[in-house]
Amino acid sequence: MSNAVMKQPDSGGTWVHTGDLVAGDINLRPSISVIGLGYVGAVSVACFANLGFRMVGADVVEAKVESISNGVSPIVEEGLETLLRDGVSRGLIEATTDVEESVRQTDITFLSVGTPTAADGGCDMKYVRAAAQSIGRALKDKDGYHLIVMRCSVPPGTTMSVVVPEVEAASGKELDVGFGVCFNPEFLREGVAVNDFYNPPKTVIGASNPRAAAQLAAVYRVVDEKVLMCSITGAEMVKYIDNVWHAAKVTFANEVGRLCKAVEVDSHEVMNIFVQDTKLNLSPYYLKPGFAFGGSCLPKEVRAVEHLAEAYQIKTPLFDSLMASNKLQIEEGLKMVRRFAGKRIGFLGVAFKCDTDDLRESPALELMAALLQEDQQFSAFDPNLRVSSSTRSHFEYMRHARPHLANLMDKLPEVLRPSIDDVLDSCDVVVVSHARDDYRRAILHRRKGIQVIDLVRLFAELPDDPDYHGISW
Ligand SMILES: NC(=O)c1ccc[n+]([C@@H]2O[C@H](COP(=O)([O-])OP(=O)(O)OC[C@H]3O[C@@H](n4cnc5c(N)ncnc54)[C@H](O)[C@@H]3O)[C@@H](O)[C@H]2O)c1
């Protein structure tokens, strides 16, 4: 079998017939029902049939069922009709309005009904609920284990709090005994959905048990061997966050465009260069939740761009929201510290980030300044910040540049400690604002009872520790 052959359209631009290329006997492959034959469902039916799976599509709309049954695409989507026609002629695609029957006839059910916006702006769950009830009724009369794969975009928690209870109530069966559940978000782009199916940007599976995870991963193996496994709620959230990110990218680019046009710079010249930076711009960098941004550049330049837009009377609401959102993150940190009012607070990390002594617009200083105003006791350590004649000049700069921090600058030489241990020995709560190995070690081996406020995600695996508190996790 060659994935290269499978993933390429033939010279005529239609999709290469691949079913025979899939390893294994067709009869051993699970059969799949797809509930909801819209953009997502129709593509799934066609593409999985093309890989040799027996597919049964189900929809409440008769016209869609008739269309799929006749190998005619119900939507405009390149390559779809060829695959549907091929699947129907090979006897691998059927469609029905009898949703329950489609479930009874198959081993796996993909759920891809619509989840439109509800009147209150949330997610309307009525189609998901109705489809889950149909699946449940079908499973009541079906022997053996069944796998349900949720493909709709829904708020985190929906699969376990809506789909599973509906299926359990209607079937009388128990999750992970009578049936398993996966959440498998759909990332296809309309217009190039068939191509995306065979070349997915990623395949994500959140599963209720390892058997369900393995069963679904096996279905996808031919198109993607490197499936990303996560929790069900994680998988649900991934889909939402992906789309918010894509929307943020479009909006960002359009604000750049409006501003560039006003200042007579070619926005495409700027963004063509911007996108070539895969180290800082288009990369995981800056994309992990943590503490607020600060330093000598980001806040200053964001303010400058906001000012520029205002001067040219260009509206840039996304840019304008950045400083306000950053301030909220500092307030979030402060809220966490205030939960321990009256306790002795210790800070590990003072400069605006690791490996620098630059105090300019350091968010940790904002926390300290607030505590100082509230007469809260605190100490601090930063290996790059020892009080000497040079740091005193630094403090002088801060006193003038950030007048609201002037009192703190006077106090800082007094609260700075020479070592991590000096801070930990004299605090009840430690606030960590830099991700360093010596801080990680110190936190793991700290005296029992010291509360930890982690602003930087010190540990990939969250500690099982009631005294540990993360800012955004
Ligand atoms: N369209 C996309 O590009 C895309 C991409 C990723 C994820 N999604 C998500 O996938 C889901 C489906 O999207 P879509 O665009 O295919 O929706 P769609 O509205 O095109 O199709 C949904 C289908 O479900 C059918 N349906 C509704 N209730 C039913 C029921 N009880 N039983 C059987 N069929 C029923 C409808 O008749 C309709 O044909 C949504 O949650 C959507 O957010 C869509």
Instruction: Report pLDDT digits (tens) over 41-81.
Output: 999 999 999 999 999 999 999 999 999 999 999 999 999 99
Cα 111 to middle of ligand 1, angstroms = 9
Task: Provide the pLDDT for residue 395.
Answer: 74
- Classify domain 324-470 by CATH number: 3.40.50.720
9 vs 454 pLDDT, higher one: 454
Task: Provide the pLDDT for residue 472.
Answer: 97
Cα 345 from chain centre: 33
Backbone angles phi, psi at 414, to 5 degrees: -75, -35
| Identity of the residue numbered 319 | F
Task: Provide the pLDDT for residue 390.
Answer: 63
Which residue lies with its CA nearest to atom 7 of ligand 1? Answer: 186
Q: Specify the domain boundaries for CATH 3.40.50.720 within the chain.
A: 3-230, 324-470
16 vs 125 pLDDT, higher one: 125
At residue 22 the predicted structure's pLDDT band, cuts being 50, 70 and 90, is very low
Residue-wise pLDDT tens digits, 210-269 = 999 999 999 999 999 999 999 999 999 999 999 999 999 999 999 999 999 999 999 999
At residue 354 the predicted structure's pLDDT band, cuts being 50, 70 and 90, is very high
Q: Identify the active-site residue in 152, 182, 260, 297.
A: 297
Task: Provide the pLDDT for residue 400.
Answer: 72
CA distances from 24 to 1, 109, 135, 461 (A): 10, 21, 28, 38
Atom of ligand 1 nearest to the CA of 58: 33
Atom of ligand 1 nearest to the CA of 39: 16
Q: Give ∠ CA 65-71-76 in degrees, rounded to 5.
A: 85
At residue 410 the predicted structure's pLDDT band, cuts being 50, 70 and 90, is confident
- Considering just the CA atoms, what is the radius of gyration of the chain in Å? 28
Cα 152 to middle of ligand 1, angstroms = 7
Task: Provide the pLDDT for residue 389.
Answer: 59
To the query of whether residue 297 is one of the catalytic residues in this protein, the response is yes
Task: Provide the pLDDT for residue 397.
Answer: 73
CA distances from 85 to 68, 72, 292, 295 (A): 8, 7, 54, 60
Q: What's this model's pTM, rounded to 2 decimal places?
A: 0.91
Residue-wise pLDDT tens digits, 411-426 = 899 999 999 999 999 9
At residue 379 the predicted structure's pLDDT band, cuts being 50, 70 and 90, is very high
Q: What is the mean pLDDT of residues 441-449?
A: 97
Which residue lies with its CA nearest to atom 19 of ligand 1? Answer: 114
Task: DSSP for 191-230, please give it.
Answer: TSHHHHHHS-S--EEEESSHHHHHHHHHHHTTT-S--EEE
Which residue lies with its CA nearest to atom 43 of ligand 1? Answer: 153
Cα 114 to middle of ligand 1, angstroms = 3
Of 156, 158, 152, 205, residue with least CA distance to 182: 205
Q: What is the mean pLDDT of residues 383-410?
A: 77
Architecture in CATH for domain 3-230? 3-Layer(aba) Sandwich (3.40)
